Amino acid sequence: MSFNVSADAYGRFMGQYSEPLAVQFIEYAGVRAGQRAVDVGCGPGALTAQLVDRLEAEAVAAIDPSAPFVEAARERFPGVDVRSGDAEDLPFADDDFDVALAQLVVHFMTDPVAGLREMGRVTRPGGIVAACVWDHSGDGGPLSTFWRAVRETDPQAGDESGLPGSREGHLAELFAAAGLKDIDDSVLTVTVPFATFDDWWEPYTLGVGPAGDHVAKLGDAAREDLQAACARLLPAAPFEVAASAWTVRGRVTA
Ligand SMILES: C[S@@+](CC[C@H](N)C(=O)[O-])C[C@H]1O[C@@H](n2cnc3c(N)ncnc32)[C@H](O)[C@@H]1O
């Protein structure tokens, strides 16, 4: 799966959903002025932007393994400590933050429990770890129509439904396995408007994430079949896509 893409391509594909999600997510996590926070798997900075608004840049750290995203985040957020690296091996000291957040990242971690445990390690006792993952396993994620069309046109193709945290209750199970306490399991939903079918389809052709990888590997005929299947499944334009994310917070204990 590829996140070796430009921040602009990411923004047009996933940023349109993750930016409004970040507004709800920091509320859910209870982030407030005076705290220090780390954005794990920050991408180009949908959530980092919200954290900087609320906490000031010097109180925010961010980390991502994607070189173009790290570069974009460094440029966009002077004063934020933006690192290159993985959740599973965070380059921060124990108890460094009041809150550690991972928006739409746990399902991409090689070892989600290790990643969440690391987020707990860098968070002070009493602090909060929170994460969210799209409902890829039900019908509620932003890419549901796309993956339904893929299954119709190419039943052998894989999708994102089996990724960790994508089914109801699984993200909370991962939090428990990582040793987090007082676990709260919730759902956040954003609604994104599309004026035309092309506005919806074009971002899938930018090579971002598993969906973009899938489209990039198709020949012309298969891509046109998939595009037509998507057009059949979507309502007539203009339309809205509602996207829901399983969202969990847990407390770090001493
Ligand atoms: C869907 S994007 C989410 C980006 C951003 N948090 C947002 O909400 O827009 C997933 C991000 O997870 C990053 N990622 C993948 N594996 C990771 C890992 N093991 N640890 C931390 N981040 C990871 C990717 O590079 C990518 O930026």
Residue range 151-177, pLDDT digits in tens: 999 988 888 888 999 999 999 999 999
Residue range 42-79, pLDDT digits in tens: 999 999 999 999 999 999 999 999 999 999 999 999 99
Q: From the alpha carbon of 47, which atom of ligand 1 is closest?
A: 8
Q: State if residue 14 touches ligand 1 by the CB under 6 angstroms criterion.
A: yes
Q: State if residue 87 touches ligand 1 by the CB under 6 angstroms criterion.
A: yes
Q: How many whole angstroms separate alpha carbon 46 and alpha carbon 51?
A: 9
Structural tokens at position 111 = 């070892």
Q: What pLDDT sits at residue 161? A: 86
pTM surpassing 0.95? yes
For the chain, what percent of residues have pLDDT higher than 70?
Answer: 100
Task: With a cut of 60, say whether residue 80 has pLDDT above it.
Answer: yes
Q: State if residue 40 touches ligand 1 by the CB under 6 angstroms criterion.
A: yes
The mean per-residue pLDDT over the stretch 171-189 comes to 98
Q: State if residue 41 touches ligand 1 by the CB under 6 angstroms criterion.
A: yes
Q: What pLDDT sits at residue 185? A: 98
Query: Which residues 6+ apart lie within 8 Å of 222 measured at CB?
Result: 153, 154
Residue range 91-139, pLDDT digits in tens: 999 999 999 999 999 999 999 999 999 999 999 999 999 999 999 998 8
CA dist 183 to 29, 123, 186, Å?
Answer: 12, 15, 10
Task: With a cut of 80, say whether residue 35 has pLDDT above it.
Answer: yes
CA dist 7 to 67, 123, 132, 197, Å?
Answer: 10, 28, 21, 23
Q: What pLDDT sits at residue 162? A: 87
What's the mean pLDDT when you consider all of the chain? 96
Q: State if residue 72 touches ligand 1 by the CB under 6 angstroms criterion.
A: no
Q: What pLDDT sits at residue 254? A: 81
Task: With a cut of 70, say whether residue 230 has pLDDT above it.
Answer: yes
- Taken in order 141, 147, 148, 149, the sign of the CA dihedral is positive
Residue with tokens 């990643």: 115
Q: How many whole angstroms separate alpha carbon 235 and alpha carbon 34?
A: 45
Q: What pLDDT sits at residue 2? A: 73
Q: What pLDDT sits at residue 141? A: 95
Q: What pLDDT sits at residue 252? A: 98
Task: With a cut of 70, say whether residue 1 has pLDDT above it.
Answer: no
Q: From the alpha carbon of 15, which atom of ligand 1 is closest?
A: 9
